[in-house]
Chains A and B, each alone.
Chain A
């Protein structure tokens, strides 16, 4: 059974701090990794994708992947109250495999 594990939180950080969200996955064959943000009552929105080991930066967001440790993380720098949401980690076997296995999400609360 493919599993994706996330700490449910809530993770509380003050405005301007770095928020660190973590995710582990069980299937060593996983090739594609995604972070989605979901505001309360809204649908998930893709914010980052990463396919190879290392870091990938996009604005205030950095995704980190370590396939040997089966670990994905998302760093949010200069956190803003508008970043308060649930962050979903999703994993796929890769090209041609469109099925995503989602973690249950980590709720992030950024206080002003």
Chain B
């Protein structure tokens, strides 16, 4: 059974650019959540999508956005990148909305220079 797939694995961007990250959940999983992980702040919740609807949003600026497609694949977008956006971005999928059996992807390591 394929796990959660995140692409790309690594990304280097310049300040001011925008970036799109992709997440394909485990087959049958309808909930996709995104987290940002940094050494200083740890794992912080960005947003959750369930059946193409954003259900919850964390305390991040509007530069961070996301969406979910009908096949449950999700993308997150960060516009006007700042140096502080350098982090590991993790996507997690679960069968239903609710914290049961979260499976994380391998993450996308974003470096902003």
Contacts from A to B (Cβ < 8 Å)? 32, 34, 42-46, 49, 88, 90, 92, 94-105
Contact = CB atoms under 8 A, between A and B. Distances in A.
21 contacts: A32-B99, A43-B106, A44-B90, A46-B101, A46-B102, A49-B101, A90-B99, A92-B99, A94-B98, A94-B99, A95-B98, A97-B98, A98-B31, A98-B48, A98-B98, A99-B58, A99-B99, A100-B43, A102-B44, A103-B42, A105-B42
Interface of B: 31, 33, 35, 41-45, 48, 50, 55-56, 58, 90, 94, 97-107
A93 B97 CA distance: 12
B73 to A, nearest CB: 17
A88 B31 CA distance: 21
Given A49-B100, A102-B35, 14 more contacts: A34-B99, A34-B102, A46-B101, A96-B98, A97-B98, A97-B99, A98-B97, A98-B98, A99-B48, A100-B33, A100-B43, A100-B45, A104-B41, A105-B42
Majority DSSP secondary structure for residues of B touching A: strand
Contacts of A96: 97-98
A18 to B, nearest CB: 25
Contacts of B98: 94-98
A23 to B, nearest CB: 13
A46 B42 contact: no
A88 B44 CA distance: 12
Contacts of A34: 99, 102
Contacts of B105: 43
B56 A43 contact: no
B92 to A, nearest CB: 8
